[in-house]
Structure 1
Amino acid sequence: MRLRTTLLLGLLTGCATPASSSRTEAPSQAPAEAAPPPASAGSAPASEKSDVKALFARELAPLSKQKVSAPDGSFTGEVEATGAPTLQAGEGLFVLSIPLGTGSPLTCFVYSQPVDAGGAIYRLVEMAGQRTELQRVRITDIRLIGESPAVYAEAEYRVNGPRGKAAGLAKMMVYADDRVPLVCTHDEPGYSESFARVTSGLAASLQGSGGTPPASRYFEFSVIRVRGLPVGFEKHTIREAAGGGRLTEVESSLFFPRSPRELSVHDSVSSELSDKDGKLVARDFARASNGEPDIQMALEQVQGREYHYEGTHLGKALNGTFTAPADLATEPGTARLLRERFLPGPEQEVTLHYYIPTANPAAPVQQVLRKGAAGSRELSVEMGPLKATLTLDAQGMGEKMVAPLGDTEMVRERVRVRGTP
């Protein structure tokens, strides 16, 4: 699936990273090892609760580190294992089989193209459901490894065994790194903490053949939670662009439970180019739902407040222009406005206009920010029927956002930040 488009290419300076990359439809290209077998190794009859509990509680002590490297030199790394991992080349990927000394090996797929976290998890769960009776699917953790997100999930299931229904557990991890993307699975009850430790260690060790890319001027990573449980992430990167402008790239994935056995997932990528004054010059946006692209829009400034948009939105082709009622806002421009003028000034509210294709692909949408208690950096945010509370840092960037969600709240909270916008 191609999420990032190339509209901004050529508008950037040599130090900016092009806004174009392809994302692999993972793991639909992967071999069948990614799906649980008909009877998982080490599974126990579901009726024998004591056996099931003991199996699910199993963990591994740390193992010795084993080197791994691609025959074509595309990556190197190391991983905990009881022996030498085996590597098999596939189309656009390498399959890594890692012995752990348990009933099933750890299987990892190292891709040659970036992978969407949500789409990969969705397909892994879908594959598991085709061969088993899923009982519960959940996201167990979302963390940052280096400056790339890693998403962990588990699927508890039942399969027919020699003594009736047997309980199984498929553990999954997607490391959405642009240079060395990784998808890992382990189908065996227990070893949940061991799986997280081994796969995170492998991901952290991976090195691509292209060297280390130049650091961005700003980076932040936020985790989204509902009732304390992880349901998504947002990754923001800001780079230098021509003429003192900025290129802001945002990558996000959301995982919402549709039922105890199903997840509804959304992956999105956007690239936003602003001029030296923080005004919008161009924006690309793409979204996939449950692994299938459903929105891909490009916006480009014609002149002044006139913009041209083009793309597809929920199956419909769109092409047109609009004139914005005010300068279109961007992330670095808004941060500057908030920290330099709005927070220290006398105004109690400010109205901004953004291009948000999920809300309206053919016109800008209005967002109203209102100050909270005197001297605080807490603002109320209102965009149509949507309302939230936003807490800013000293740079005018959002540290935390809390939004009502039915009878609970959705909380987006920053867990790492580097640099200045």
Structure 2
Amino acid sequence: MEAEPVLVPLNSQKDITHDWLQQVMRNGLDPSLKLVSWTAKPLEKGAGYASDMSIVRASYCTQANADVVNSSLCVKLLPENEGAANFVRNGNLGMREVEFYKYAASEEFKTFCQKSGSPNLIPCVYWAGIDNDRFTVVLEDLTLKDFKSLVPPEGISLKQAKATLSAVATVHAAGFTAISKHGTHQLDIPWDAHFLQKEVEMGLKRLVKMYADTPMAGTLKTYFSQIQNLVYVDLTYPFMKTLIHGDLWTGNVLFSNDGSDVRIIDWQFAHFGNPVCDIQILLFLSCNSSVYEDNLTEVLECYWSSFEQALLKNEVTLEPSFTFEDLLETVDHLWLFGFMFFAAAVPDLLDYNKMSVARAQSVISFLNKRGVFTNSVPLANEGDDDTASVVFTLNFEGFLREVDEKEAAQRQQHARFMLREGQ
């Protein structure tokens, strides 16, 4: 009997072979699968900044079904571009995505989502592996099922925003349950946001240029010397520790034709952190300004209801329970995180026509109206000009708190849960 090839991560699309692909498909579909034919086409550069992607069209048959079946797969690899590859290495992004998809393929995660009523939040995973810094992820290509990415420059609608947050709330609930139950988790990979500093700096420069010759330009300039603090601002107000996407904009979401059903992809920023980060990233990077200006409470209520329902349907209760008011308070205290991540992303969003200038300005206007720039005041040292050597004080309406990782752990422990077995 011929030995099956050992699956290893690939260096590039050119390394895809008939035997390798057949074994990947057997791993994800049927051990008896026989690959009949296949073609691979790389997506244009820039389509996946943190990975090189190819679409593989394949035809196969199985022992149970001799008829030839056509399928489509998405293959993700470490970028060949050295700058993008270093970005992936510095953030350990390949490891994060591989470990997430292994978790998504686990019976624990699939059972949790099934009981929650959302069994298909993540595309089918055929195989995921990493070797040193090479990684390969093979997923179901959902475009054949009429799912598509929606990144309109003016932003997505309220309906699409609620569908996305409802989906990620279930993942958050699964992650919270897993880490509370097991204490440790394969995805609890140390997260250090220092690798975002260069992107934040570039984004601030772009925003300062956008607001040239206005008072806002001067306000934005005061943040340059405090970028190293900005990238860690989410630690200043712990809420709960759970599995988050970390880059939840609609370039990483696929929508059904009617916009009511979503699949979340590209989990390279996945880590255990504050779920409010995912909420704010989606609001500022992808939503029409009316979503957060006029419908913020409705959006957050939708998210919280989905989170609670996912726990309830899995017979998990929180004691004492986190409340919706806790969520509102945390969102309000962490707007500066949303600003930081928005700044990191805004150059690419503008350059690739994923965001209009008007929508970018709406984000700044919203944050300014909320007092974010006045309540997180950079204090200039005596004798310095107003753009250099500033001391950054996180002063959220008079609330000043030291960053203390122990506090987050203690808060998580305080919210211990009960699994109501057999009830």
Greater share of residues in strand: 1
Q: Same fold (TM over 0.5)?
A: no
TM-score band by shorter chain is under 0.3
Greater share of residues in helix: 2
Tell me which of the two structures has the higher relative contact order, counting C-alpha pairs closer than 8 angstroms and 6 or more residues apart.
2
TM-score (norm 1): 0.25
